[in-house]
């Protein structure tokens, strides 16, 4: 007699495989709009000719053209607009902004993805979508929406038919497909952070945690069919889930605390500002070295060549030591 567990495992594997295949197809369709930002062939040729005139910034590796991120040509030169009041204040004398800080966030991220995490009802989808729209060159994706379309069922239906474990496996497959793309803002499921394998994907981008008190969330989602809240005391369940996930959520790069009464625009503004500040506080190593060279009155190119020469000499010393021993 066949084991009922074998049948359950078969259904779980089937829905996972189908979800993974359909998710890949949906992603191709959903991110198709990104093609509108791609340069035309003529523009590509022109840019390539311009880049070739700066031979120091183009290195051939494995047949691909690679642009040195430490070069002046590669550095977009965009700084934190909140630290430059002239960028934010309108010349018309009204309260409008001259430049949307979110639009300046895009070049500073250099294609790095944004992942929004947090409890159900924290506003990840709404806020993430608004941030992506304001950035202009980023697309928005919701892992729950992709999973529902790929599986052909709503999230509550997946929970009811296959159980939470099957949902979590399928959710991980969707994230696996999503993280391979760039220039996207991603809203994730509330429990996605609990799997270690998912964190390795999230850490390829910047993670934003929307922190909302359970009592505020309960007011937002009361009366909905959230699978995990179908209990005698939904608020108590929500509080327990929040506490269980707290340690994982707090590993995010940026934490944005949301108070009751804040509008979606207010939360988006707070996220954008926090991300600009995070980039300032965590510059890449090459940028730190470049700033140090400038502070010491050294020419960056000569400083870089000297560093490479020192590394080469160290390698020779190590090789000689190995040969002698």
Average pLDDT by stretches of 10, the chain with 325 residues: 43 51 50 37 35 43 48 63 75 65 92 96 96 96 93 88 89 91 94 93 95 94 81 90 96 96 96 96 74 70 56 58 55
pLDDT for res 315: 60
Tell me how far apart the 2 most distant CA atoms of the chain are, in Å: 80
What pLDDT does 123 receive?
Answer: 95
HEC string of the chain? CCCHHHHHHHHHHHHHHHHHHHHHHHHHHHHHHHHHHCCCHHHHHHHHHHHHCCHHHEEEECCEEEECCCCCCCCCCCCCHHHCHHHHECCCCCCCECCCHHHHHHHHHCCCCEEEECCCCCCHHHHHHHHHHHHCCCEEEEHHHHHHHHHCCCHHHHHHHHCHHHHHHHHHHHHHHHCCCCCEEEECCCCHHHCHHHHHHHCCCEEEEEECCHHHHHHHHCCCCCHHHCCCCHHHHHHHHHHHHHHHHCCCCEEEECCCCCCHHHHHHHHHHHHHHHHHHCCCHHHHHHHHHHHCCCCHHHHHHHHHHHHHHHHHHHHHHHHHC
pTM reported for the whole predicted model:
0.70
Closest CA to 217 of 245, 195, 198: 245
pLDDT at 76: 58
Q: What pLDDT, on the 0 to 100 scale, is given for residue 1? A: 47
């Amino acid at each position: 007699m066949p084991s009922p567990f074998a049948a359950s495992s078969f259904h779980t594997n089937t829905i996972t495989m189908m979800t993974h295949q359909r998710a890949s197809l949906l992603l191709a369709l959903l991110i198709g709009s990104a093609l509108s930002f791609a340069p035309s062939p003529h523009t590509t040729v022109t840019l390539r000719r311009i880049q070739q005139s700066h031979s120091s910034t183009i290195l051939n590796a494995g047949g691909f053209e690679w642009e040195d991120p430490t070069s002046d040509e590669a550095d977009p030169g965009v700084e934190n607009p909140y630290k430059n009041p002239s960028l934010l204040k309108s010349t018309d004398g009204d309260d409008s902004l001259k430049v949307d800080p979110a639009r300046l966030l895009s070049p500073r991220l250099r294609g790095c993805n944004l992942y929004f995490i947090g409890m159900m009802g924290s506003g990840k989808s709404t806020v993430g979508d608004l941030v992506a729209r304001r950035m202009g060159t980023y697309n928005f994706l919701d892992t729950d929406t992709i999973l529902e379309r790929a599986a052909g069922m709503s999230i509550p239906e997946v929970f009811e038919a296959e159980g939470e474990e099957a949902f979590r496996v399928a959710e991980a497959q969707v994230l696996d497909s999503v993280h391979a793309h760039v220039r996207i803002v991603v809203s994730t499921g509330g429990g996605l952070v609990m799997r270690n394998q998912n964190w390795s994907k999230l850490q390829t981008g910047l993670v934003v945690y929307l922190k909302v008190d359970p009592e505020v969330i309960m007011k937002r989602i009361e009366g909905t069919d959230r699978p995990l809240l179908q209990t005698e005391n939904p608020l108590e369940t929500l509080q327990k889930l929040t506490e269980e996930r707290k340690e994982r959520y707090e590993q995010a790069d940026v934490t944005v605390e949301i108070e009751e009464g804040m509008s979606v625009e207010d939360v988006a503004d707070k996220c954008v500002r926090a991300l600009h500040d995070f980039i300032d506080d965590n510059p890449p190593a090459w940028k730190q070295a470049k700033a140090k060279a400038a502070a010491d009155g050294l020419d960056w190119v000569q400083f870089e060549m000297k560093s490479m020469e020192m590394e080469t000499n160290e390698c020779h010393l190590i090789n000689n030591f190995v040969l002698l021993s």
